[in-house]
Amino acid sequence: MKRTFFYCLTLTLCAPLVACTSGADSPAPSPSGPVAETSAVIALNADKALYAAEAAYNAPAHAYVTADAKGLLSASVKAQVKPLLVDAYNGVVVARCAHSFVKLAAGVVQGVLPSGDLDKCPATARSQAALDNAKAEVEGLSAQASSLLPKPK
């Protein structure tokens, strides 16, 4: 488990990375060498964006649930924050969809949603741009939610 997080494709086992691009509109992969390496970097960037979206949601969502369990949230605050968090979670779901499609387009099958879940993904959530937009939306909504929640003592 240690030595974790180094990314790769089975096709590029132990191959040095020599190229770096981003975005789903990169040149189409060919069977060998630098193209597969480019795919690995695309997958890394997609993972990075999804991590950011998941983390942005997690902080206020956990703060909300914890405060609510302790009875620290007024009805007014709950009425303001809950819709923001619901929208933020929906953004996370879109980010997960886009993340999966970006990785599939790059030829990476690990870490993608099950095919049944992929079928439910909107057609607009299938690119790096969609992933970046969803991430930005989640971050914005989460920041709003955080600003309304009581600060931890």
Question: Which residues of this chain interact with other proteins, rule CB under 8 A?
Answer: 1-10, 12-20, 37, 40-41, 44-45, 47-48, 50-52, 54-55, 57-59, 61-65, 68, 78, 82, 85-86, 89, 92, 96, 110-111
Q: What are phi and psi for residue 36, nearest 5 degrees?
A: -65, -35
DSSP state of 109: -
Rounded to a whole number of angstroms, the minimum distance from the CB of residue 78 to other proteins is 7
H or E segment to which residue 84 belongs = helix 75-105
Rounded to a whole number of angstroms, the minimum distance from the CB of residue 111 to other proteins is 4
* CB-nearer residue toward other proteins: 17 or 136: 17
* CB-nearer residue toward other proteins: 87 or 129: 87
H or E segment to which residue 147 belongs = helix 128-148
H or E segment to which residue 37 belongs = helix 34-69
